[in-house]
Amino acid sequence: SVIRLADYRPPAWTVERVDLAFDLGIDRTEVAATLELVRQADEPMRLNGEGLELLELSVDGRRLGEGEYILANGVLEIAVDGDRCTLATRVAIRPAENTALEGLYLSGSRDKGFLLTQCEAEGFRHITFFPDRPDVLSRYTVTLRADRARFPVLLAGGNPDGAGELGDGRHWARFVDPHPKPSYLFAVVAGRLERISHDYTTADGRAVALHIWAEADVIDRCGYAMDSLIRSMQWDERTYGRNYDLDVFHVVATHDFNMGAMENKGLNIFNAKYLLADPDSSTDDEYRHVEAVVAHEYFHNWSGNRVTCRDWFQLSLKEGLTVFREQSFSADMNSAPLKRIEDVALLRRAQFPEDAGPLSHPVRPSQYSEINNFYTATVYEKGSELVRMLAGHLGRDGFRKGMDLYFARHDGQAATIEDFLKALGDANDADLSPYLAWYGQAGTPRLTAEGRFDAAQRRYRLTLRQRTPATAGQPAKQAVPIPVRLSLFDHSGAALPLRLEGEDRAGDTERTVVLDGAEHAFVFEDIDAAPVPSLLRGFSAPVILECDYLPGELAILLRHDPDGFNRWEAGQQLAGLAYDDCRDGNVDGSALRAWTRALADLFAGGGVDDALLAELLTPPGEIELVERQAERDPERIRIARQAMLRALARRIGAEPLRERYEQLRAATSAALDAPSQAQRQLKRRLLDLLALVDPAGAAERALAQYGQAPGMTDRLAALATVATYASPSAEEPIAHFRRRYDGNALALDKWFAMQAMLPGAEALARVQALEGDPAFTLKNPNRVQSLLGSFARANPTGFHRADGAAYRWLADRLVAIDALNPQVAARIATAFNGWKRLEPVRREAAHAVVAGLAARTDLSRDLTDILARVALG
Ligand code: ARG
Ligand code: ZN
């Protein structure tokens, strides 16, 4: 059944107060709920409830008999007279049997593990009967009762409100949350956990006890998360004037979690992967992810919790906005250009392919059959790009004013995307409604730019056009406002002051023009020679730019643009043209020459800092490059990409590569400061480039680096290089890594993932062998992601074998995973996205497998939904 945005109706009954009492047990937990309900419409009361054993049901103190309610298809329906009532239920649930990790479940083993909940989007209905929709906001009181020895720590969202003994070895604890919240933000945690704490005082003077909880063996890896949390709180106070609003804030780490983390009110729960960090087991990237995800969940306290979503179609209202806030925070904490490079690369790698295939959907979808399948790159990352455009439109102070009004106006409410645009607009006397088109339309717009220089008039005419290709179920597209930040450079690389036709004097060298129709020409005056336009600076809109640059023009930007991001962007575009040369066998192509020469000069010149240089030396990945092929053959893409990298390595020269590598090696430390991280990143790039021109020299250095690495970044990078370019020599270090990190789940995940991503014909056999490792299990989402997910989504040559063996193997595993955990199965299944554009042999093999899966009737709604859409191609 399909849920449609157009069918939205406010709730017929709301819940003012909820009182929940849990008698916790691993096999069986009883939940007693008392709901104070208020009628809003003349309809029966309908509560969601799935997988609940109903023990008792009463209305206003009177127990209901069998004929007095209907319980079918996950809905409990009761006809009630009057405008208010108190409903009491008692149900039993079975946490240890809950392998879907939705609702109340067990993390870890029966004897050592702990109990926790995940409710977003619709998990609360697996805990108790409730109108489980985000526009029902209630005040929660939660009492937990459990055996003290087995469950010494009892946590729920809200402020603590008493605790004590029950006499029979059991104890209790109560929590009251003063802030009305939707059911998806409810959470409890119970078990043996350790904590680290910090006393924080908010800018508005509230004393808050911060606690991060984890199992004893990893509690000493929570320090970085605590530092990140403190920085996040201070940043939100400074940047948006937002203060935390409870007396305690708990954060809990679990190894068993379907997604990254969850912003439950006062009790955030994290996948351990995004909370734990130490130099011996975490890479630099992982440190940055921890900082970003801790911030993301914390920022949700305002953008998501205090102001929540009216319905799940508005998901990007909280997710797009919170990703934007998180990205701005990370940019402030680290390097802004590098952060932008990372975000744009992610958008292109994850969101553009989604937007171009059968799973495409608008940032605000208009229908869904399973909401869990809409926690996507489109809702999150493209959603963030839309907020970034709005923020750019209003300017720094205007956006802050708009956010202040949004929070003030909608505090305690469940809002819509219209509400958001309206508040931002009202605070600035602006009409932002044209941007709504972005939210309702799938597909990545193509922006075409055509420049014409008129020497006689000393004018440069830049014509911009837009067109969005048809997407699944959305054939006709409208124009959207596209802000284009731009500069014009002369051929010496100097930026020109800009004066548009009709203006009386020249302004800055950079400005933003907005294309708000299908086509518009912008005329720049006082231009002496044909300029090189630098367009979409800072990636000012999430579009694909089509501009017939000559390689030499891009090389000018790559060499001279003072802005790191734009320099990288010019390099990426030039690299795309260089790739075309390699693909077409044109080893002496002008783009390939321009790209390698510009980079070799920058490398030798020494003017570029290590981090940016590492990024510049990285062309678009194999997944982005498929867009440059008509018929997609991952093997040929890899060959062409390796050829361009080899050409680059040759142009720089093996000796300079070795020399620079050795310099960096001598400076090696495990320090976390930005320059040290940059050195490690550049070192890794150089080693990979060296492997293409001096395989023996690179392997020898990589083996030495593995042995001497002071931290995980250098260790893992070295291992991957050896395994990719000198696989026989990798056996020993791979076995060594396995022994060294036995019992360290997050390190083992990286060990599985690194091997799953090794390219080539042996990849499938390697992955199948790894399934036999005693540490492998289909029950743990991180482990499945690290082996199966990495293989299917990040190893194009391995997964897309021409004989289709990997497709058949994955189909088999999907069925097995689906029986345990539908959300995880559905996510892995998106690896089949794009099968229709593969070359014919692979296409046919993939199609057979996808069609076979889609024809099954025994799969979950999650997996069925993905397969049905993917099968359409
Ligand atoms: N709200 C969480 C976050 O972004 C993610 C929840 C994902 N839920 C899901 N069912 N996939 O921060
Ligand atoms: Zn989020």
Ligand (nearest to CA of 101): 1
- HEC string of 23-34 equals ECCCCCEEEEEE
- Specify the ligand 1 atom closest to the Cα of 123: 10
Between the alpha carbon of residue 109 and those of residues 115, 472, 723, 780, the distances in Å are 10, 44, 34, 12
pLDDT for residue 77 is more than 90: yes
Mean pLDDT of 396-414: 99
Ligand (nearest to CA of 370): 1
- Cβ atoms of 134 and 309 within 8 Å: the answer is yes
pLDDT for residue 630 is more than 90: no
User: Could you give the CA distance from residue 32 to residue 127 in angstroms, rounded to a whole number?
Assistant: 10
- Specify the ligand 1 atom closest to the Cα of 258: 11
Can you spell out the DSSP letters for 48-85? E--S-EEEEEEETTEE--GGG-EEETTEEEE---SSEE
- Cβ atoms of 287 and 681 within 8 Å: the answer is no
Residues in the chain: 873
* Cα of 325 from ligand 2 centre, angstroms: 10
User: Could you give the CA distance from residue 213 to residue 266 in angstroms, rounded to a whole number?
Assistant: 13
Whether ligand 1 lies within 6 angstroms of the CB of 326 is answered as no
* Cα of 249 from ligand 1 centre, angstroms: 19
pLDDT for residue 225 is more than 90: yes
Whether ligand 1 lies within 6 angstroms of the CB of 122 is answered as no
Helix axis angle, 745-756 to 712-725, nearest 10°: 30
3-state secondary structure of 415: strand
Whether ligand 1 lies within 6 angstroms of the CB of 664 is answered as no
Ligand (nearest to CA of 827): 1
> Omega before 391 cis (within 30°)?
no
User: Could you give the CA distance from residue 401 to residue 403 in angstroms, rounded to a whole number?
Assistant: 5
* Cα of 591 from ligand 1 centre, angstroms: 43
pLDDT for residue 28 is more than 90: yes
Buried b / exposed e over 657-668, threshold 16 CB at 10 Å, is bbebbeebbeeb
Mean pLDDT of 147-163: 98
User: Could you give the CA distance from residue 634 to residue 779 in angstroms, rounded to a whole number?
Assistant: 30
> What torsion, rounded to 10 degrees, do the Cα atoms 467, 470, 476, 480 define?
-40
Whether ligand 1 lies within 6 angstroms of the CB of 375 is answered as yes
pLDDT for residue 349 is more than 90: yes
Could you give the count of Cα atoms lying within 13 Å of 34 in the half-sphere of its Cβ? 9
- Specify the ligand 1 atom closest to the Cα of 372: 10
Strand partners, 507: none
Mean pLDDT of 541-560: 97
- Cβ atoms of 811 and 360 within 8 Å: the answer is no
Whether ligand 1 lies within 6 angstroms of the CB of 261 is answered as yes
Whether ligand 1 lies within 6 angstroms of the CB of 379 is answered as no
Whether ligand 1 lies within 6 angstroms of the CB of 314 is answered as no
Query: Cβ-count burial of 608 within 10 angstroms (0-12 exposed, 13-18 middle, 19+ buried)?
Result: middle
Looking at ligand 1, which residue's alpha carbon is closest to its atom 1? 262
Buried b / exposed e over 168-183, threshold 16 CB at 10 Å, is eebbbbbbbbebbbbb
pLDDT for residue 668 is more than 90: no
User: Could you give the CA distance from residue 122 to residue 186 in angstroms, rounded to a whole number?
Assistant: 11
* Cα of 733 from ligand 1 centre, angstroms: 37
- Cβ atoms of 776 and 752 within 8 Å: the answer is yes
Mean pLDDT of 480-499: 97
Mean pLDDT rounded to a whole number for the chain: 98
3-state secondary structure of 674: helix
Can you spell out the DSSP letters for 696-725? HHHHHHHHHHHHH-SSHHHHHHHHHHHHHH
pLDDT tens for each residue of 766-799: 999 999 999 999 999 999 999 999 999 999 999 9
* Cα of 116 from ligand 1 centre, angstroms: 15
Looking at ligand 1, which residue's alpha carbon is closest to its atom 10? 372
Q: Which of 101, 102, 117, 120 to mutate to test the pocket of ligand 1 (most atoms within 8 A of CB)?
A: 120
Residue 590 CA, chain-centre distance (Å), reads 37
Q: What one-letter code names the amino acid at 720?
A: A
Looking at ligand 1, which residue's alpha carbon is closest to its atom 8? 120
In this prediction, residue 99 has a pLDDT band, given cuts at 50, 70 and 90, of very high
**Closest CA relative to residue 246, chosen from 157, 317, 315:** 157
User: Could you give the CA distance from residue 300 to residue 662 in angstroms, rounded to a whole number?
Assistant: 45
Mean pLDDT of 590-612: 97
* Cα of 308 from ligand 1 centre, angstroms: 13
Mean pLDDT of 280-306: 98
- Cβ atoms of 293 and 315 within 8 Å: the answer is no
Mean pLDDT of 4-27: 98
User: Could you give the CA distance from residue 31 to residue 288 in angstroms, rounded to a whole number?
Assistant: 39
* Cα of 38 from ligand 2 centre, angstroms: 30
User: Could you give the CA distance from residue 371 to residue 378 in angstroms, rounded to a whole number?
Assistant: 14
Neighbours of 574 (CB within 10 A): 26
Ligand (nearest to CA of 823): 1
Note the ipTM here.
0.98
Whether ligand 1 lies within 6 angstroms of the CB of 862 is answered as no
> Of residues 120, 297, 622, 624, which has the active-site annotation?
297
Whether ligand 1 lies within 6 angstroms of the CB of 449 is answered as no
pLDDT tens for each residue of 816-827: 999 999 999 999
Q: Residue 426: what pLDDT?
A: 99
Whether ligand 1 lies within 6 angstroms of the CB of 387 is answered as no
Sign of the Cα torsion 78, 82, 88, 94 reads: positive
The yes-or-no answer on residue 297 being catalytic is yes
pLDDT for residue 172 is more than 90: yes
* Cα of 121 from ligand 1 centre, angstroms: 7
User: Could you give the CA distance from residue 626 to residue 583 in angstroms, rounded to a whole number?
Assistant: 11
pLDDT tens for each residue of 122-138: 999 999 999 999 999 99
Query: Cβ-count burial of 199 within 10 angstroms (0-12 exposed, 13-18 middle, 19+ buried)?
Result: exposed
User: Could you give the CA distance from residue 146 to residue 190 in angstroms, rounded to a whole number?
Assistant: 8
Q: What one-letter code names the amino acid at 730?
A: A
Tokens of 360: 């495409």
Tokens of 620: 């678009």
Whether ligand 1 lies within 6 angstroms of the CB of 269 is answered as no
Whether ligand 1 lies within 6 angstroms of the CB of 262 is answered as yes
User: Could you give the CA distance from residue 678 to residue 698 in angstroms, rounded to a whole number?
Assistant: 20
CA–CA–CA angle 854, 856, 860 (5° rounding) = 85
- Specify the ligand 1 atom closest to the Cα of 297: 12
Ligand (nearest to CA of 259): 1
* Cα of 118 from ligand 2 centre, angstroms: 13
Provide the percentage of residues in the chain whose pLDDT is more than 90.
Answer: 98
Q: Which of 102, 232, 259, 275 to mutate to test the pocket of ligand 1 (most atoms within 8 A of CB)?
A: 259
* Cα of 372 from ligand 1 centre, angstroms: 8
Whether ligand 1 lies within 6 angstroms of the CB of 506 is answered as no
Q: Residue 219: what pLDDT?
A: 98
Q: Which of 105, 122, 262 to mutate to test the pocket of ligand 1 (most atoms within 8 A of CB)?
A: 262
For residue 183, the 8-state DSSP code is G
In this prediction, residue 246 has a pLDDT band, given cuts at 50, 70 and 90, of very high
- HEC string of 471-504 equals ECCECCCCCCCEEEEEEEECCCCCECCCCECCCC
Q: State the pTM of this model.
A: 0.99
Query: Phi, psi at residue 85, to the nearest 5°?
Result: -160, 160
3-state secondary structure of 454: strand
- Specify the ligand 1 atom closest to the Cα of 304: 1
pLDDT tens for each residue of 305-337: 999 999 999 999 999 999 999 999 999 999 999
Ligand (nearest to CA of 100): 1
Whether ligand 1 lies within 6 angstroms of the CB of 678 is answered as no
Round the CA-based radius of gyration of the chain to a whole number and report it: 28
CA–CA–CA angle 58, 59, 64 (5° rounding) = 45
Strand partners, 156: 188
User: Could you give the CA distance from residue 848 to residue 871 in angstroms, rounded to a whole number?
Assistant: 10
Whether ligand 1 lies within 6 angstroms of the CB of 374 is answered as no
3-state secondary structure of 351: helix
